[in-house]
Amino acid sequence: MEHIELFFKSIFVDNMIFAYFLGMCSYLAVSKKVATAVGLGAAVIFVLAITVPLNWLLDQYLLQEGALVWLGPEYADFDLSFLSFIMFIATIATMVQLVEIVVEKFSPGLYNSLGIFLPLIAVNCAILGGSLFMQSREIETLGLALNYGIGSGIGWFLAIVAIAAIREKIRYSNVPAPLRGLGITFIITGLMAIGFMSFGGMLTGGDDEATEDNLETVDGMVTAQKDHKTSDFVIEETNDTDNK
Amino acid sequence: MRLLSKKDSKLIMDPLADNNPITIQVLGICSALAITAQLKPSIVMAISVIFVLGAGNVVISLMRNIIPSKIRIIVQLVVVATLVIIVDQVLKAYAYSLSKELSVFIGLIITNCIIMGRFEAFALANGPWQSFLDGVGNALGYGVILVIVGFFRELLGSGTLMGFKVLGDPVEKTGLYAIGYENNGFMVLPPMALIVIGIIIWVQRSKNKELIED
């Protein structure tokens, strides 16, 4: 349940482009044709799926406060999290290089379709953003980190393919001259973002209601179980809060 | 005698208008839009970028003859990351609540395309003083757009500027609210940042026809 929730949340609710504007530079520059957009999108999914779990391991065993405790109890007070920017970006840059070399060696077909985009990705905000959000949201397990990486990659993929398709069509429309190209792309992205905002309540069924239910049922779980109208999801949530 | 020669002042003035990094070169939008719901974080973000880009351009320009071209991307990333860590630590020390508000977006200055773009296009080929001017100029051009967007979104969305209630109090119905004015809550949401920038581009290109794309 946790996995499915995080997966859909990172695709739709916390969409990299429409909610946080990450990776906008390449999103605007490489979205003129659907074919190239698919290539770049696939490369982003690929790289996010590798770097987010890797940076999760780094964060967990090297950077967080107390993460160095595996070296010995005297290291328990060390907090290296101020180094996380430089560690994350170094990991990303080296991983991108490594992936490029490996893919070129073992899968020339994939290299031809992804290859030219891989160097571009090292400085794509979506990749670093994925790792930084992973850190600030305190994702708990390696599996969830992998899940989050793939999910936000797919979200980015959907966004760039959609805008590329729209831009291919809009070439035949009569857009006011000063808006042509960049201007109209911004406005369309804004409208798409408004559309994506409607996914906001998809998972919780509205945050406010959920907390009200919690308040009612925290007093005694019995009331919640008797009340058949309360969905299973809410009961699970109250279980969590009780345990805490 | 003028402080800056004609060529030098062109380095600063160009990016402010006709060669603006955001509206013309389409660089550095990534970390910019999400923090413009209010004026204050926009200004802090602009200052941080001015510092990082100005200092980074000088460092890269000083090292331009000793960086092997094959690993220059990594070198550039390390320089930016170091400068951004400085900004992040200073903000955490002196403006903690603001640094919480900007959260990951300070870190994302590292991958801001303006910075890598200016390193590649300018600092690797020019001396330190000119690189400094170029860096500051481009960062100012970026900052101007950020501040404009932040200004309109905060004014129309919350009726405040830098936290001051310039339009009166919406609860006690004073000022403009007395005659039935309402805040447009939509302006605070992320999508409106894109639409406001779209409008800025529209205005700018209507004024200067040379900038219109085919």
Domain-by-domain residue ranges, chain B? 44-197
Q: Say whether the ipTM exceeds 0.90.
A: no
Calpha distance B45→B47 (Å, rounded) = 5
pLDDT for residue B1: 45
A:95-114 residues touching chain B, CB 8 A cutoff:
none
Residue B184 contacts residue A150 (beta carbons within 8 Å): no
Q: How far apart are CA B30 and CA A124, in angstroms?
A: 9
Nearest to A178 among B78, B88, B206 (CB): B206
Q: Cα-Cα-Cα-Cα dihedral of B111, B117, B118, B120, to 10°?
A: 110
* Angle, alpha carbons A52-B32-B154 (nearest 5°): 130
Residues facing B161 on adjacent strands: B164
pLDDT value for B7 = 74
Interchain CB distance below 8 Å, B190 and A19: yes
Beta bridge partners of B164: B161
CA-based nearest residue to B110, from A192, A83, A68, A239: A83
Q: What is the pLDDT of residue A37?
A: 85
**CA–CA separation, B116 vs B134, rounded Å?**
13
Mean pLDDT of chain A: 77
CA distance B207 to chain A (A): 9
Judge: B104–A129 Cβ closer than 8 Å, yes or no: yes
Q: Is the confidence at residue A228, as pLDDT, over 50?
A: no
Question: Does residue B146 sit at the A interface (CB-CB below 8 Å)?
Answer: no
Q: How confident is the model at residue B116 (pLDDT cuts 50, 70, 90)?
A: confident
Digit-coded pLDDT (tens) for A102-152: 878 887 877 776 666 676 677 778 888 888 888 888 888 899 999 999 999
Share the mean pLDDT of chain B. Answer: 82
pLDDT given for residue A148 in this prediction: 92
CA angle (B182 as vertex; B181, B185 as ends), nearest 5:
155
What pLDDT score was predicted for residue A232? Answer: 40
How close, in Å, is residue A151 to chain B by CA atoms? 19
The answer to whether the beta carbons of residues B60 and B79 sit under 8 Å apart is yes
Cβ atoms of A19 and B190 closer than 8 Å: yes
Up-side HSE of residue B177: CA atoms within 13 Å toward CB?
Answer: 17
Which residues in chain A are closer than 8 Å to B213, comparing Cβ atoms? 180-182
Mean pLDDT value of segment B111-117: 81
d(C-alpha B108, C-alpha B115), whole Å = 11
Q: Which residues of B touch A124 (CB under 8 A)?
A: 111
Interface contact A133, partner B, CB < 8 A: yes
Task: Provide the shortest C-alpha distance from residue B81 to chain A (in Å).
Answer: 5
Spatial CA neighbour of A29 closest among B165, B25, B88: B25
Q: Which of A158-172, B31-45, B166-180 has the lowest mean pLDDT?
A: B166-180
The listed range with the strongest mean pLDDT (A219-223, A237-241, B122-126) is B122-126
Tell me if A128 and B111 make a contact (CB, 8 A cut-off).
yes
Instruction: Give mean pLDDT, residues B8-24.
Output: 75
Q: Token pair 């992936």 is at which residue?
A: A99
CA distance B153 to B48: 21
d(CA B187, CA B184): 6
Find the radius of gyration of the CA atoms of chain A. Answer: 21
Rounded Cα distance, A240 and B164, in Å? 41
| Radius of gyration of chain B measured on its C-alpha atoms | 19
B129 forms beta bridges with: none
Which residues on A lie below 8 Å from B202 (Cβ)?
176, 178-179, 183
- The highest-confidence range among A163-167, A230-234, B161-165, by mean pLDDT, is A163-167
Confidence at residue A241, expressed as pLDDT on a 0 to 100 scale: 41
Record the tokens describing residue B146, joined without a space. 């950020």
Does the CB of A69 have a partner CB in chain B at under 8 Å?
Answer: no
In which band, very low, low, confident or very high, does the pLDDT at B2 lie, cut at 50, 70 and 90? low
Asked whether residue A162 carries a pLDDT value surpassing 80, the answer given is yes
